[in-house]
Structures are given as C-alpha cells and as structure tokens.
C-alpha cells in the first residue's frame, strides 16, 4: 500500500512544523511555498548574499527564527519543496498550483491538505491613504528584511496591536527615522484584557520594553488617537498625517511615509475555495473558518493551522501546525503518526488554549476601530485597487438597497481589484453596516474566487494524474 499524499501550503512557522511532524513519521510531504525561501512573513529570510545577523533581523525572536530555518534545512532532502509556487484553487481532492517562472499550473491530488496560509495586514482606511508613501505594516517589514531599506526618510506608524510596535522598533534598531507611533487603542485597557495578557507574562513584558525603547529613542508615542487624514499631493505623495489625540486635540506630524495596520486578518481564501464552513467571531469582528481543537476543518481531509485559521502568533502557529499534521496522519490511519498524535495531542491543545487566551486579551486591549469606518468622509477611498469611496458604498445602501457585501460588490466593484478585498473587505463591511444600521455580521463577507491572486494570462493547467 502506497504512502498517503499529504500537501502542506505555506512554509512559515505552521507549515515547517507540520512538515517536520510528517517527515518524522516517515512521510514525504509536498510543500507549496509562494515565497522564494521558507520562513513566512515573521521569519522572512533575507535574500542570498545578504549578511545581516539574526539579532539585527529578528531581535528578541532571533533564536526562534534560527531554529525554524535550521529545522527546514534539515528537512529539505526529505520533502518535495516547491518554492515560488502559488496555490491558486482547490477542487475536490485536488490542489491547483502555478510556478511564477512557468506558464502552466499543476493539479495535485492529495489525501490530506494542510493549509498554513498565514495572515495579512488588517487595514482601516484613512482619508488620503491612497497617496504614494502609504504602506501596510507587513510591506514596511518586508522592505526592511528583504531589501534592507526604509519606506521613507521620516516614518510614522499608525494602527494598533503588537505588530505596530514591533515594526517601529525594528525600524529604529535599523537606524531609520521614526517620527511617531500613533495607536488607536484606548489609554487604559479593560480589566478583562489584562487577565488575558497576563496568561503570557513574558510576551507582555517584551511589549512594554519595546514601548520604553521607542520613547528613549525619541519617538512620539500616542494612544487613543483618531486618524483624521493623511496629507499630500497626488504627484508628490505623502507629506504629513493629522490625528486627534486622546484629549481631542488635533496633532499634525510631518512625514513622507506612513505604515498602517490593525492586527492581522486570516488569509482564508483557500479555506473558502475548499468549501470550509466559516463563523463570525464578535470579539475580533471577522469571519474565521471553523476548526476543531486539532485543526480539522468542516471538509474531510482539509486541515487549517496557523494564522490562516486563528491569529495566535508564531509560537501558536508552530504548535497548531504540528497538531494539524498529527491529526491528519491519525485520520489517515498512519500508525507512527497516530501514536505520536495520541502522545502529544493533549499537551498541544493546552498550549494553544493558553495562546488563545492571550489572543483574546490582545483583541480587547487593542480593539479593531470599527467606529472609524462610520466617520470616514464620503470622498475617502475605501478600495484602493478600484478607487471606490466610502460615499459610493453608502450610495449602494441608500439608493440601491444593497445591504450585503457581495451585492454591494456587484454594484460598486469594491473588492474586485488585485487584492480581491484583502485590504478593503473588512472596512467596506463596517461602512455598509454603519449606514444600514445593521450588525456587521449581517453584511456578510466577500466570497473567495479563484485564482486567489493574479496569474499570467497565458497560464495553462496540466493535470498531474497520479499522486506524487
């Protein structure tokens, strides 16, 4: 009897640990990686030939990044690793991929599919955020890690959550000029948030240390701000940002680049294409794929791990990736994997429960500022790909009677651009909910469409037929 074919999408913390568990059990998984090298976003590798030290690149997470990279290097000869390969569609029992350097895609039959697709920045539009010089926090981080450059000469970071302070700290450490960190979270977090944050005191302490280090570096730190506008000219880009501080005073900062982000959103398009069920989580105000404690989705043979299912950070992704792989092998009746699953299952579940408690604390301490969507002026662009304004979305509700996100998409083209709603979908739903006076979960979510990202126009599909 041939060994089962297990495919892992993504080689960040979740994907690498899933692959490690599979190899330890004697399997040779297929690893699909959209990037050039392993590591994902948080442990993104620098390009070949770059010599920066791990401590410079990853700060306090340097040892974890090094360990993950070394683990992958040890796995290379035991896996079928396909870098620069996009997983663009899922049909029953098959994953469809395309290599960026080729003009054809491949259809891979699988017995189990472990999706470790990670997350992308969650963005709240601000008037003027469509000007040149506005970046997501993730893009700002990529520029620093992959190209060793800053997004500007005078940078302001706006948003909320741990990533806001992490990226700002990385920029300061790299010698970039960071003017201010503007946080929309309230000055004093609720008591319930503190209980969650104290579940992982070391991480809480590291976060506080980053804030102190930023202040010592002369960076202005403001909490409880309300973004008003990003200033600049279409042909010259960003020149400044204006916010209202916690006391209601208008504050202006001169800058040529703004990095923005409010936590992360699960990269769940592949789960959607696999017909996995989703449920709305009120605390984070987003739709997430339904999984059991071990990462099983509602679709048999499809497993979800890491930030693509729950935003638990790198440590949580590693634990979730391993647990999902063990669960998959147990379900496939793979004897070695099943024995290891029974041995490790309870410990990994307990570890993930603790991390989920911390996640909930973060969501309460650094809430998604949904109220800002209601305050957006009509001329503010919500969908940057298609230049759809808040006023256009409101017109769809008030004049056309649209109250569901995909219905509004059909009338306005919101979410039809290159990012397929990754960066505008959540905010667009909040705008619609506010003007329609309905709960945001009633507005729904943008349905995933294949291909999940743009492909070459001359791409053609080749069926692989037999299982690898």
Distance CA 95, CA 466 (A): 13
DSSP helix, strand, coil percent of the chain (3-state; round to 5): 40, 25, 40
- Say which residue the tokens 């990736």 belong to: 321
Distance CA 317, CA 267 (A): 13
Residue 313 is classified by DSSP as: H
**Can you give the pLDDT at residue 464?**
57
Domain ranges of the chain: 6-120+265-361, 123-262, 372-443
**Can you give the pLDDT at residue 462?**
62
Tens place of pLDDT per residue across the chain (468 aa)? 689 999 999 999 999 999 999 999 999 999 999 988 888 877 777 777 777 777 767 777 778 888 888 999 999 999 999 999 999 999 999 999 998 777 678 999 999 999 999 999 999 999 999 999 999 999 999 998 888 899 999 999 999 999 999 999 999 998 999 999 999 999 988 888 988 998 889 888 988 999 999 999 999 999 999 999 999 999 999 999 999 999 999 999 999 999 999 999 999 999 999 999 999 999 999 999 999 999 999 999 999 999 999 989 889 999 999 999 999 999 999 999 999 999 999 999 999 999 999 999 999 999 999 999 999 999 999 999 999 999 999 999 999 999 999 999 999 999 999 899 999 999 999 999 999 999 999 999 999 889 998 887 777 666 654 444
**Can you give the pLDDT at residue 251?**
97
Q: β-strand 460-463 against 104-109: which pairing, if any?
A: parallel
Class of domain 6-120+265-361: alpha beta
Sign of the alpha-carbon dihedral angle for 73, 78, 79, 83? positive
**Can you give the pLDDT at residue 1?**
60
**Can you give the pLDDT at residue 191?**
86
Q: Write b or e for each residue in 250-283: b if 16 or more Cβ atoms lie within 10 A of its Cβ, otherwise e.
A: ebebebbbbbbbbbbbbbbbbbbbbebebeeeee
SS3 107: strand
Distance CA 101, CA 99 (A): 5
User: Six-digit token pair at 374?
Assistant: 């209601």
User: Six-digit token pair at 37?
Assistant: 């090298």
Residue 5 is classified by DSSP as: -
From the list 65, 80, 76, the residue with the least C-alpha distance to 12 is: 65
Fold of 372-443: Arc Repressor Mutant, subunit A (1.10.10)
Q: Of 3.80.10.10, 3.50.50.60, 3.40.50.11740, 2.40.50.140, which CATH number belongs to 123-262?
A: 3.50.50.60
Q: β-strand 178-183 against 220-223: which pairing, if any?
A: parallel
Distance CA 203, CA 220 (A): 23
User: What is the maximal distance between C-alpha atoms in the chain?
Assistant: 71
Of the chain, the end-to-end C-alpha distance in Å amounts to: 14
Q: Same CATH fold, 372-443 and 6-120+265-361?
A: no
**Can you give the pLDDT at residue 455?**
80
From the list 120, 49, 390, 165, the residue with the least C-alpha distance to 270 is: 120
Element (H, E) at 130: none
The DSSP secondary structure of 408-437, one letter per residue, reads HHHHH-TT-STTTTTTTHHHHHHHHHHHHT
């Amino acid at each position: 009897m041939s060994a089962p074919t297990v495919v892992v999408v993504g080689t960040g913390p979740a994907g690498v640990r899933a692959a490690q568990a599979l190899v330890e059990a004697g399997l040779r998984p297929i690893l699909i990686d959209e990037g050039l090298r392993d590591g994902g976003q948080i442990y993104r590798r620098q390009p070949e030939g770059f010599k920066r030290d791990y401590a410079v690149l990853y700060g306090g997470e340097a040892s974890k990044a090094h360990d993950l990279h070394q683990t992958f290097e040890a796995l290379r000869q035991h896996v079928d690793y396909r870098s620069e390969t996009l997983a663009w569609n899922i049909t029953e029992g098959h994953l469809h991929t395309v290599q960026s350097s080729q003009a054809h895609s491949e259809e891979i039959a699988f017995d189990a599919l472990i999706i470790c697709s990670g997350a992308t920045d969650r963005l709240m539009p601000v008037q003027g955020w469509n000007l040149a010089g506005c970046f997501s926090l993730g893009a700002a981080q990529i520029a620093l890690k992959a190209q060793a450059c800053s997004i500007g000469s005078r940078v302001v970071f706006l948003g909320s959550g741990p990533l806001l302070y992490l990226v700002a700290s990385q920029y300061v450490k790299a010698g970039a000029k960071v003017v201010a960190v503007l946080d929309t979270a309230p000055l004093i977090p609720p008591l319930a948030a503190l209980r969650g944050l104290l579940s992982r005191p070391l991480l809480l302490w590291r976060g506080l240390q980053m804030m102190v280090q930023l202040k010592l570096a002369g960076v202005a730190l403001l909490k409880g701000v309300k973004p008003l506008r990003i200033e600049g000219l279409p042909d010259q880009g960003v020149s400044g940002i204006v916010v209202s501080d916690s006391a209601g005073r208008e504050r202006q900062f001169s800058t040529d680049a703004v990095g923005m982000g409010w936590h992360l959103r699960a990269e769940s398009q592949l789960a959607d294409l696999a017909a996995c069920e989703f449920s709305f989580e009120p605390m984070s105000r987003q739709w997430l794929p339904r999984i059991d404690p071990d990462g099983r989705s509602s679709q048999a043979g499809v497993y979800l791990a890491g930030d693509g299912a729950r935003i638990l950070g790198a440590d949580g992704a590693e634990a979730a990736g391993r647990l999902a792989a063990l669960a998959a092998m147990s379900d496939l009746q793979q004897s070695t994997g099943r024995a290891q699953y029974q041995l490790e299952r309870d410990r990994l579940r307990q570890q993930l429960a603790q991390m989920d408690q911390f996640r909930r604390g973060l969501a309460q301490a650094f809430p998604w500022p949904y109220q800002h969507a209601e305050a957006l002026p009509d001329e503010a662009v919500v969908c940057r790909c298609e230049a759809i304004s808040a006023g256009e979305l409101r017109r769809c509700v008030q004049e056309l009677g649209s109250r569901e996100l995909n219905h509004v998409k059909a009338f306005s083209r919101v979410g039809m651009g290159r990012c397929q709603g990754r960066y505008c979908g959540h905010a667009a739903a909040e705008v619609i909910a506010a003007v329609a006076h309905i709960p945001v979960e009633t507005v729904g979510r943008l349905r995933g469409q294949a291909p999940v990202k743009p492909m070459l126009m001359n791409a053609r599909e080749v069926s692989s037929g037999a299982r690898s």
